[in-house]
Structure 1
Amino acid sequence: MRRTVIALGIGLGLLGSTVVTAPAHAANVVSTPLATTTVAREVANFWLADGAANLKNATPYAVQTVVQGQRSSNSVVPDGKPGSVTPLASPVSAPGNLPTTSGKVFFVGADGQPHWCTGTAVHAQYRNLVATAGHCVLDVERSDTTFDKWVFVPGYSEGTTPWGLYVGKQVTAHSDFDLFRDYDRDFAFVNVYNGVVLSSDGVLTNNGRLGDNVGAQGFSWNQPIGSSRSVFGYPAGSNPDGTNSYTGETLKKSAGPTFAMTLSDLPADQPIGVDSPFPGTGSLGSSWLLRYSNDVGAGYLNGITISVSDTDGDNRYDTGVSPYFDSQTAAIYKAAGAVWSGSILI
C-alpha cells in the first residue's frame, strides 16, 4: 500500500480541553490507511470468530527484539521547550493499579501468521488513538507495506477482550522511519474505529470510542532524562540464561530511571534507555509513562519500547530502548490526533 508523505510545519496548540505548549517544528508526516469500514468489519470478524481463536493463537512479534547497546554518560539534547498533554481519566479501574489503557496490538505478519505487540491508548481529540512501535505497524521486512488486519485490544488478558476490539483505520508515522529506517523515529500512532464486540449469535455490535471506554494516557516531549519511567507491556519469554520467564498473557509493570544510550546495530543518533528486566519478545510497543499515578492509572507517554538490551553482558536483559520524544515526535502525534474515525457498523 503506497503512502502519502506530507511536509508539515506544526505549532502545537489547543487540543480538546488540554493546553499544549510547544514551538512550531517541521516534521515529515506519513499517513497510511489501514482499513476501510467495509474491510474493518471483515478484520473484526477474523479476530473474534471461533471464540477469538486467532487472538488466542497469535504469537509475539519477534523482529528486532534485541539490540547491542551501551549506557552513555552523554546528555540528550531537546530540540525545543518541553511540553505535555494531560491524560484522560479512565471510567473504570483495573486490578492491581495497572492502566486500563494498555493492551495488545494484533496483526498478520509477512509470514501470513497472526502476531502481537504491546500498545497503549493516548489522549487525542476524537479519543481514538493508539501508540506503539513503528515496526509494529510498518513492516520493516517488506518495503512500502503495512501489516494486515491491524487491531488493538485494551486490557487483553488470557484471550479476553474486556473493553472490545478496535480496528485500525490509519497509521501516522515519521518519514525518516518509513523511508530511511531511522530508529530515532521508530514510533507510530494509529487511529482506531469505535470498538466492537461479538454477540452470542455472532453479530458485531458497537462498543463506543476507545478513550470513552478505557481513558487515555497523556503525552509529553522534550523532557529531561534521569527520572523514573513506568513501563507497561506484555513481555513473553525469558532471559538468555533462562531466568525470569514471562508468559505474555497478562500486563506487567517495571520502573526505573532513564539514560542516554549508544547502539551498535541500529541507526539511531539519540536513543534512550530505561532500567527494565523485560525480554524484547512481547514488549515491543510497551509504553513508558512519566509521573504515572497508581491511584488514577495514568501518566504521560514519554517513550515506546523498540527493543531491549543486555548492557552488562551477564545474559540477562536490563534495559528497554526507545526513541527520545522531541518536538518532531509531538508533531506526528498532533497530526494523528486530528483524524476522526467513527464506527464500522451502519
Structure 2
Amino acid sequence: MKRLLIPLAAAGLSATSLALPAAAEPNWVSDPLAAKPAEAYSAAAFWLEANGAALRKATQYHWDSKKVQKLVTTQAKTPDSKPSLVEPIGTAKPAARTRNVNVPKTIGKVFFVDRAGRYRWCSATSVQSRNRNLVATAGHCVFEKGKDVFQKWVFIPAYYQGSAPFGVYAGAYAFTHYDLDTYDDYDGDYAFVAVHNGFSLDKAKEVAKADFTGWKGDKQVKSEEITKAEFDTGLDKFGPLGPYWSKTLDTADKVGPAYLGEKTLTKVEVTKDAYTAAPASTNANLNGEKFEQVGPTPISREEYRKLAGEKADGKVLGFLAADKDSAGNETAWTLTRYYTKQWVKADKQVKYFRDRYYVAVAKDAGRLGDTVGGQGLAWNQPLGQAATVFGYPSAPHPDGDRPFTGVTPKWCSGKTGTKRVQANMFRVETHQTLRCSMTPGADGGPWLVRYDNAKRAGYLNGVTSVFYDQDGNERIDYVSSPYFDSETASVYDKAGFAETKSIVGADGEVRQ
C-alpha cells in the first residue's frame, strides 16, 4: 500500500471534534487518490468529457449475484463506548408533509476505474466534517480487494439520469479501517474520502493561439476549410506560421526558392525527431523548414491506447505522452503533432484551412458540504432502531430478474436487526442488518437513523456492504452494514482533518 502524510488542519479541535475513549487506538489507514489539483482535474474531466460519455458507460461495482450469502445470527452487539452523534449540516428547508421518502441531495454516486480498466460506480453520501469535504461509502468502493485504491475516483452528489447538477468532486485522500486494508475484512467495510472542491465544465470557448498554448486545462484544435482569398488574408495577417494552412490533394511538385512561378505554402506532418532536426524558418521559402507544433493536447486514456496501437503500425506520426504520479500510475495523456513547410506549384489542386483553438472552461462549485450539506454521524447506537437506506441498485437478483436500472436513487426503510450477523465469505462477524430488496449498485449507500423526511437529514449509522438471500428463493431480501463503533469514529475523525482545495482558478484554469 502507498502511504502518504496527509495535509491536516491546524492543531486544535473544532466544535465537531469527537470525544473518543482514552484507551481507543485509531485503527485507520489512509491512501492518496488524486492529491494534486492537476491530477484531480484530470480525473474529474475524464468523466465529464464528451457530455459524460464515460459516466454512461460505467456499470455497478461487480458482484457475483449467484454467491449471495445467508445470514448467521450470533449475538447482540455490545457498544464499546456510549452512543454519540455529530449533527448534520446544510439541511433542506422543511418540505410539505408527504408519504413518499424525500431523497436528500447529499446522496449520489462514486465513479472509478478498476485495475482491469472497467468503469464502475457505487452509492455514497456527503457527510458533515470540519472541512466540509467528506464522502462516506463502502470500503470496497474505494479500495480494490482491500489493497490499492481505485483510479479516477470521483463523487457526484444528487446524480440523476447521467447529470451532475452540483458538479463533480474528485477524491484526494481515502481513509478506511486497518482491518479492511490489511485483511479485506468487511467488518471494516467503510471509507471516508476527502474530496477537492467540485467543478463543472462549461461549453468550450474559442481563444487565440497564444492563450491556447498556455492553457493548463482541456483544449482542442479544430480545423475548418476556408477559401483561397481567406487563406491569403490570413497569411498577410498572421504570417506563414499562423493558424492558416493548406494541403495538396495530389502528388504536387515541390518547389524551392529558385522557382519563379506562383507557389503556395502547405504543410506536411512529420515525427517529433524529424521536426526537431528541421531548420527554423529562414524566410527563404525552403521546403522542410519548421512550420508549427500543435499540442501537447490532452486526450483520454482510450484515445491514447487507440493512437498508440496505430502508431505502432506506422499510422500515427504524432508524439504520445503519459504523465505518471509518484507511484507510477498514469494520470494524464497528451498528443503533440509536428509540421514542416512544403511549397508547391499554385496550379495544383489545393485546399485551404484555418485552425481554431478552443479551451474548456471549468467553474468552481465550492466545498461539498457548503454546496449540498452533509449528513450527521452516529456510532455505538443500539440495534433494532428505525433506519432509512438509500442507494442506486442496478444488478439483477440471483434469479436473473432486474427490477432496478441504477439511473435513479431508491430506498428501503425499517428497523435494523437486534442481533449481529456473520458472513464467512467476507470475514463478517459484527454486521447489522435490514430487510431490503435493493441489489448491488446500492453498495456504499448510507444508512440514516433519525431521518427527518421534511429536512432530508439524519445520522449516518452504516453503509450497505453485503447482500443476502435469506429465504433461498434467489431474491435478495436483506442487506448488511458494518456496525459503526468508536473505531469508525476514529477513522472519521482522522479523515475530517484532511485539507483539500479548489482545483480550478477564477478564470477556469487548473491550479498547479
- TM-score norm. by structure 1 comes to 0.91
Tell me if 1:68 matches 2:226: no
Alpha-carbon offset, residue 244 of structure 1: 6.3
Q: Give deviations 1:135-181, integer Å, cap 9, x for gaps.
A: 111110xx741100000000001110011000000001111110111
Tell me if 1:289 matches 2:448: yes
* 1:129 corresponding residue in structure 2: 134
Deviates more, 1:162-171 or 1:173-182: 173-182
* 1:23 corresponding residue in structure 2: 21
Check 1:29–1:18 CA distance in 2 against 1; reply closer, same or farther (3 A cut). closer
Once residues 120 and 56 of structure 1 are traced to their aligned partners in structure 2, the CA distance between those partners, rounded to angstroms, is 20
Once residues 13 and 157 of structure 2 are traced to their aligned partners in structure 1, the CA distance between those partners, rounded to angstroms, is 23
Give, as a single letter, the amino acid of the residue that structure 1 aligns with 2:139: G
Equivalent residue in structure 2 for 1:262, among 422, 431, 448? 422
Mapping of residues 22-101 of structure 1, within 5 Å: 22-24=20-22, 25-35=24-34, 36-63=36-63, 67-70=68-71, 72=73, 74-90=75-91, 97-101=102-106
Equivalent residue in structure 2 for 1:216, among 357, 374, 398? 374
Once residues 101 and 76 of structure 2 are traced to their aligned partners in structure 1, the CA distance between those partners, rounded to angstroms, is 35
Mapping of residues 174-185 of structure 1, within 5 Å: 174-185=177-188
* 1:106 corresponding residue in structure 2: 111
* 1:186 corresponding residue in structure 2: 189
Q: Is the 8 A contact 1:67 1:265 kept in 2?
A: no
Once residues 106 and 438 of structure 2 are traced to their aligned partners in structure 1, the CA distance between those partners, rounded to angstroms, is 19
Give, as a single letter, the amino acid of the residue that structure 2 aligns with 1:268: V
Tell me if 1:272 matches 2:420: no
Once residues 385 and 402 of structure 2 are traced to their aligned partners in structure 1, the CA distance between those partners, rounded to angstroms, is 25
Once residues 495 and 16 of structure 2 are traced to their aligned partners in structure 1, the CA distance between those partners, rounded to angstroms, is 16
Alpha-carbon offset, residue 262 of structure 1: 2.0
Q: Give deviations 1:319-344, integer Å, cap 9, x for gaps.
A: 11111101000000000011110111
Mapping of residues 141-290 of structure 1, within 5 Å: 144-201=147-204, 202-243=360-401, 245-259=403-417, 260-279=420-439, 281-290=440-449
Give, as a single letter, the amino acid of the residue that structure 2 aligns with 1:327: S
Alpha-carbon offset, residue 17 of structure 1: 4.0
Give secondary structure in 1 for the equivalent of 2:135: strand
- TM-score norm. by structure 2 comes to 0.63
Check 1:15–1:242 CA distance in 2 against 1; reply closer, same or farther (3 A cut). farther
* 2:238 corresponding residue in structure 1: none
Alpha-carbon offset, residue 73 of structure 1: 5.9
TM-align CA RMSD: 2.2
Check 1:15–1:301 CA distance in 2 against 1; reply closer, same or farther (3 A cut). farther
Check 1:205–1:319 CA distance in 2 against 1; reply closer, same or farther (3 A cut). same
Give, as a single letter, the amino acid of the residue that structure 1 aligns with 2:175: T
Once residues 85 and 234 of structure 1 are traced to their aligned partners in structure 2, the CA distance between those partners, rounded to angstroms, is 25
* 1:307 corresponding residue in structure 2: 466
Once residues 15 and 122 of structure 1 are traced to their aligned partners in structure 2, the CA distance between those partners, rounded to angstroms, is 18
Bigger radius of gyration:
2
Alpha-carbon offset, residue 269 of structure 1: 2.1
Once residues 222 and 64 of structure 1 are traced to their aligned partners in structure 2, the CA distance between those partners, rounded to angstroms, is 32
Once residues 68 and 395 of structure 2 are traced to their aligned partners in structure 1, the CA distance between those partners, rounded to angstroms, is 16
Give secondary structure in 1 for the equivalent of 2:124: strand
Q: Which 4+ runs in 1 deviate beyond 3 A? A: 14-22, 63-67, 90-96, 241-244
Q: Is the 8 A contact 2:79 2:381 kept in 1?
A: yes
Q: Give deviations 1:270-289, integer Å, cap 9, x for gaps.
A: 1111111101x201101000
Give secondary structure in 2 for the equivalent of 1:270: strand
Once residues 408 and 93 of structure 2 are traced to their aligned partners in structure 1, the CA distance between those partners, rounded to angstroms, is 18
Once residues 301 and 120 of structure 1 are traced to their aligned partners in structure 2, the CA distance between those partners, rounded to angstroms, is 9
Q: Is the 8 A contact 1:133 1:186 kept in 2?
A: yes
Alpha-carbon offset, residue 311 of structure 1: 1.2
Structure 1 unaligned segments of length 5 or more: list them: 7-13
Alpha-carbon offset, residue 200 of structure 1: 1.3
Q: Is the 8 A contact 1:128 1:193 kept in 2?
A: yes
Deviates more, 1:254-263 or 1:113-122: 254-263
Q: Give deviations 1:182-227, integer Å, cap 9, x for gaps.
A: 2111111000000000001222111111111111000010000001
Once residues 38 and 19 of structure 1 are traced to their aligned partners in structure 2, the CA distance between those partners, rounded to angstroms, is 31
Alpha-carbon offset, residue 90 of structure 1: 3.4
Structure 2 unaligned segments of length 5 or more: list them: 7-11, 205-359, 505-510
Give secondary structure in 1 for the equivalent of 2:499: coil
Check 1:243–1:67 CA distance in 2 against 1; reply closer, same or farther (3 A cut). closer
